[in-house]
Structure 1
């Protein structure tokens, strides 16, 4: 049985106030926030569910490539990554599509038995996807107990 977590980074694993510039590289503009500050939470939530794979649905893949993007994750999460919604073949339309449409397209291709998405972007999700999306607040990501409990409930229902 194929189980997938579609994973966004910004607004999920850290604040959505992340920017890339030529002068400063990747940097946070949210005061007191750090890159990937909530990543250990995801690692802990997924730990009991070894059969859940990760598909990266972050724009980081389009910017840095799959291999480089995967390497920012802890080893236990890196091992779960089986791909990304973005690939060079879909560059022509990928940026024009809202996140929900990007993930829905990947679901049609991979055909997982079970899937859910962690994302702070509410756009483009079809009504049929709503039960699969755990919407985070861009400022708090998965750091809140409510979001963590929602993830636990979903994973335990599988």
Structure 2
């Protein structure tokens, strides 16, 4: 049987995308209510993962780009459950998360997002990496070209954000 998932066949991907959920795939004001689950509180008219299809489209030309979850959902819900919220074409790209259950969750939550991602870059050692996030915390200036900062409400749907991610993906995947 042929494996349709290029990520599964290559082991460690050379290029990874660190992906936040809140403020990227939907507005950042997401709450979790016991018995109900996660929902977008404000602004009205938005839904969870409303920009996931856009991310699928942006990644489509690059089937070997892996995704590392850099979202607080992993700390709150666990890796498997956080990953399960993604649509299948994104879910199959996920190769890990910045947070692991062996880490202290309080210490991890207190680290700026940039430090969380850079810690994983140090451990994972991808050849190239990009991050898409709505927080500007902890990203050293010399790594700014690796990061696309989104608007907390519009997320990836903002024209400037998805254009920047498209350009950075093309650059990261360009042959040397």
Give the structure-1-normalised TM-score. 0.95
Distance 2:47 2:135 in 1: 20
Choose which of 19, 28, 33 in structure 1 pairs with 2:31: 19
The number of aligned residues is 158
Structure 2 segments unaligned to the other structure (5+ residues)? 1-12
Bigger drift between 140-149 and 18-27 goes to 18-27
1:82-93 matched pairs, under 5 angstroms: 82-92=95-105, 93=107
Higher relative contact order (CA 8 A, sep 6+): 1
- SS of 1:51's equivalent? coil
**Distance in 2 between the 1:103 and 1:139 partners?**
22
Aligned residue number for residue 16 of structure 2? 4
The offset of 1:22, in angstroms, is 2.9
Contact 2:27/2:153, CA 8 A, preserved across alignment: yes
Q: CA deviation at 1:27?
A: 1.7
After TM superposition, what 4+ stretches of structure 1 lie above 6 angstroms from structure 2?
A: none
Unaligned runs of at least 5 residues, structure 1: none
Residue-by-residue CA offset, 1:31-73 (whole Å, 9 max, x unaligned): 1111111110000000110110000000001111111111111
